[in-house]
């Protein structure tokens, strides 16, 4: 009887993981609504066509690499390879910061090329871009904060409990943010 109860307990999803999955589903619905509105709005006569700056391509490469290093960090903590885990968490956090910086640079590039993003003289295309990518960047910032906290905890010497659950939760969210960016990047480049 104890074995069945223990097995049942192991098959349950951790409450924090379940909450994360619910939150990610709602984020998906929000971005589905925004991209649907983008498709409808782009048929208006005042829609401005412009290409995304090249820096967004570089940021895509950076976030893909960060997803790989996050995956390797999870593997390392599960294998109890603390040194490798720390290094991969540090790389992932650094790449997350670089991704955020590249996104900021992309917006600055658009503004420098005369594309008014918000306010007077802005175009619906640029405003949609700010809203869609801006919301994604906010989610990335949340992920970066989680990465930095997890990385700081990895380097603490007083840690007695060795569990991979918090790292798995951060990894799931980081991979989600990565996939969301890939979707948005493809959408904004090829749905014109």
Report the pLDDT value the prediction gives residue 99, as an integer from 0 to 100. 93
For the ranges 99-108, 117-126, 134-143, the lowest mean pLDDT is seen at 117-126
Model confidence over 50-70: pLDDT tens digits? 788 899 999 999 999 999 999
pLDDT for position 161? 62
For residue 64, give both structure tokens. Answer: 């893909």
Give the per-residue pLDDT at 171.
94
Pairwise CA distance, residues 167 & 189, whole Å: 33
The answer to whether 137 and 178 have CB atoms below 8 angstroms apart is: no
For 85-91, which contacts have Cβ atoms below 8 Å and span 24 or more sequence positions?
A: 85/154, 85/167, 86/151, 86/154, 86/155, 89/147, 89/150, 89/151, 89/154, 89/167, 90/151, 90/154, 91/66
Give the pLDDT confidence score for residue 76 in this predicted structure.
94
| pLDDT for residue 10 | 64
Average pLDDT over residues 4-10: 53
Average pLDDT, the chain: 85
CB neighbours of 166 closer than 8 A, spacing ≥ 6?
A: 150, 153
Please count the CA atoms within 13 angstroms of the CA of 112 that sit on its side-chain side.
8
Question: Using one digit for the tens of pLDDT, what is the confidence trace for 12-34?
Answer: 877 888 888 898 999 999 999 99
Express as a percent the part of the chain with pLDDT over 90: 40
Look at residue 192 and tell me whether its pLDDT is greater than 60. Answer: no
**Which structural domains are found in the chain, ordered by start?**
53-190 (1.20.120.80)
Mean pLDDT of 127-153: 87
């Amino acid at each position: 009887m104890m074995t069945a109860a223990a097995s049942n307990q192991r098959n349950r999803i951790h409450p924090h993981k379940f909450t994360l999955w619910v939150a990610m589903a709602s984020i998906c619905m929000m971005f589905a609504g925004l991209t649907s509105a983008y498709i409808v709005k782009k048929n208006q006569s005042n829609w401005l066509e412009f290409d995304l700056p090249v820096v967004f391509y570089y940021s895509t490469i950076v976030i893909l690499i960060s997803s790989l290093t996050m995956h390797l960090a999870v593997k390392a903590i599960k294998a109890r390879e603390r040194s490798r885990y720390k290094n991969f968490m540090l790389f992932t956090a650094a790449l997350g910061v670089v991704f955020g910086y590249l996104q900021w640079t992309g917006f600055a590039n658009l503004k420098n090329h005369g594309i008014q993003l918000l306010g007077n003289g802005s175009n619906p295309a640029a405003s949609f871009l700010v809203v869609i990518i801006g919301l994604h960047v906010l989610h990335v910032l949340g992920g970066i904060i989680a990465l930095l906290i997890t990385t700081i905890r990895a380097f603490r010497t007083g840690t007695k409990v060795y569990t991979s659950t918090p790292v798995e939760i951060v990894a799931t969210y980081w991979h989600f943010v990565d996939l969301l960016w890939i979707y948005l990047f493809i959408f904004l480049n090829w749905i014109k």
